[in-house]
Amino acid sequence: MRSIFDERLAEIHRELSQLGRMVNEAIYKSVKALINHDAQLAQEVIDGDLKINQKENVIDQKCYAIIALEQPNASDLRRVLAVMRASSDLERMGDHAENISKVTINVKGNKRDAGLEKQIAQIGDKINGMCSDIIDAFVEFDVDKAKVTAQMDDEVDEQYHQLRMSSIELMKSDSESVLAAADYSFVGMHLERIGDYITNIAEWIVYLDTGEIVDLD
């Protein structure tokens, strides 16, 4: 009986890893589409969000099945619930990637700014690295790696703050760039929120270890 539970939980962890890779790819493509002014790639991210939602649903259903069929003890139930929470956070991260892609399509024809786009690319690179690390930490049950990854969110917050300040300065200096600057700031907000969800997943990893909800912000 124990081996069956472990096999089913391992399968769910594989599903979660796949979801993480899908979401990370969506984030990467959404930022790349914005920087390269690639509406086709942005639409690909938007269309692909359905697969992310479907994958999250598959994970949820398998978690419910484990709870119903295996009747896990408190410790095992904690593991299943943590997977469900992490899966939900990943799905929301995918939503933010979709929203970034919608911005790329909507800003077509607006005046662009290479400096702000470079800042967004830097935030995107940081987020992609954090996303990859947090999925590895969850699958490997690496609490230390989870905490280190969560700490990187402070850097994302600072980068987002700098992007907002740069956007405001652009608005002041160039009235023709107001709409674009607002969109850049909006994209930065979505990336900052993705960083928050990564921190949430780190907190679920700590929860798995200690059974306590912690605040890693």
For residue 217, is it within any domain? no
Kindly state whether residue 215 falls inside one of the protein's structural domains.
no
The enclosing domain of 61 has a CATH number of: 1.20.58.220
Asked if residue 102 is part of any domain, the answer here is: yes
Mean pLDDT per 10-residue section of the chain, whose length is 217 residues:
78 94 97 94 97 97 90 85 94 97 81 90 97 93 93 96 94 86 94 96 89 74
Reading the block at residue 78, the tokens are: 């904690």
- Tell me whether residue 107 is in a domain: yes
Written as one letter, the residue type at 35 is I
The pLDDT of residue 91 is 97
The whole domain housing 188 covers 2-210
Asked whether residue 216 is assigned to any structural domain, the reply reads no
Rounded Cα distance, 167 and 209, in Å: 41
Which pTM does this prediction carry? 0.93
- Residue 90 belongs to some domain of the structure: yes
Number of structural domains (the chain) is 1
Any residues with CB less than 8 A from the CB of 30 and at least 6 apart, and which? 42, 45, 97, 98, 100, 101, 104
Residues in the chain: 217
Position 69 scores a pLDDT of: 84
